[in-house]
Structure 1
Amino acid sequence: MRSTAAILACSLVGAGLSVAKEFVEAPVVKGNPEGVVYRATLLDKDNTEVRGTVEATAGPGGEGVTFSVDVSGFPDEKEFGPFSYHIHDQPVPEDGNCTKTLAHLDPFQRGEDPVCDKDKPATCQVGDLSGKFGSISDVADGKHFTQTYHDLYTSTRHGPGAFFGNRSVVFHYKDKFRVNCGNFVLVKGEPPAGNHSVLPTGAYPTPSATSSPTASPPPFEGTANRVGALSVGVMLAGVAALVW
């Protein structure tokens, strides 16, 4: 009996350790500049007909960002869809290689697993737009996918890790293949302090360490919320001690 309790205790402690990774909720971004508009235009690639734009500007009162998505040209949805899209960490380089945009914008190092819960958007990767607001579907025969939504956790103000004005958007097939991409460029308004100058459509800024969220100052003003995965581990360890 005592050995059985010991095995159970060890199992519970192990389970506690396995979920002890600290998880951070993204806080609401405030102070986004009014009148500033960024637009990403997908590239004219020979190997895909996927084309479109993603436009972004400050949400009401400068809180969060309002995105307007208009894309079309997707292949057979049963074979390749549903289609997803995300803000990626790096801009598209001059050769147009979408793979070089690296991973999703993720200033809190959340990772892709578990998948985003759209009912809890603060717990998703900051750049996981389709995870938070839905994948692309019902786009057969060249039908446009159009959607406008308000995301509270991205920034058009230079400085926070959630700033995407010097980054890119990438569209994917269901197998994560990167079908097309484009850089966000400033198309309207005065550049926020410290931001890049307005770039002409089709211009691709060179990736640099300063454009990575891991090299940025603290991503937001205020304190992010830490979800209690660590406390779950402690609780399980405590249960194990009682069993013992």
Structure 2
Amino acid sequence: MGHAFQVVRSALFIGQMYLAMAVIGIGFAPWALLSNRGARMACRSYSQWVRWTARWMVGLRSEVRGEVPTDDVLIAAKHQSFLDIILIYAALPRARFIMKQELLMTPIFGQYARRVGCIAVDRGKRGKAMKQMVAEVKQGRNNPGQLVIYAQGTRVAPGARLPYKVGAGVLYGQFGLDCVPAATNVGVFWPRRGLLRRPGLAVVEFLPRIPAGMPISAFMAKLESDIESASDRLMQEAGFQVQTDLN
């Protein structure tokens, strides 16, 4: 009965979450059309709403740890589910995400992503996508803030090991930005697929920054080591059994 009840609670939470996206998106639309600040306020309001309703509807608390960057930096993050997007956006003052092009077609979400300066790339065309990403970041250099890229390029289930994409390294090398890695355990409670949302404490943790200027190969090795070790620690803290590599 307990599991079935949690599934029902999860379904109600998910339903109201998408309804709230429509209500908040439409309600803020006049301000968002006139000002990017209005669009950012709408996205931040929605992020806070999701965190609040997750807490009392499904028992899922959330927390942001570490020093939250407020300057112009690259954020290279672990991606496990929609919740880490919510937590990162709620924490950062001016976040802009590198995102897949298809998301721009999503009603309301896509329109607001454009307004806050997110950069969409076609992941199916790797070489072209990299050039497009760099060109659009250059065009937006007069739009200060925190540029967020998911280091593995997609959502990764807890315990899965996927390679780190070179996109973070390209941005790090091209633009001379410090990089702040971000680890998470949100996938333990909010999986990338499925209905169930589990109670517990979901965390995004901003890790010590990696200064600009490292060789890209060394940067990528450090980035992966920092994010994976911290994410494993957070998942273990959440009760997830991480499989260690014995080789």
TM-score (norm 2): 0.30
The higher radius of gyration belongs to 1
Larger RCO (CA under 8 A, 6+ residues apart): 1
More strand by share: 1
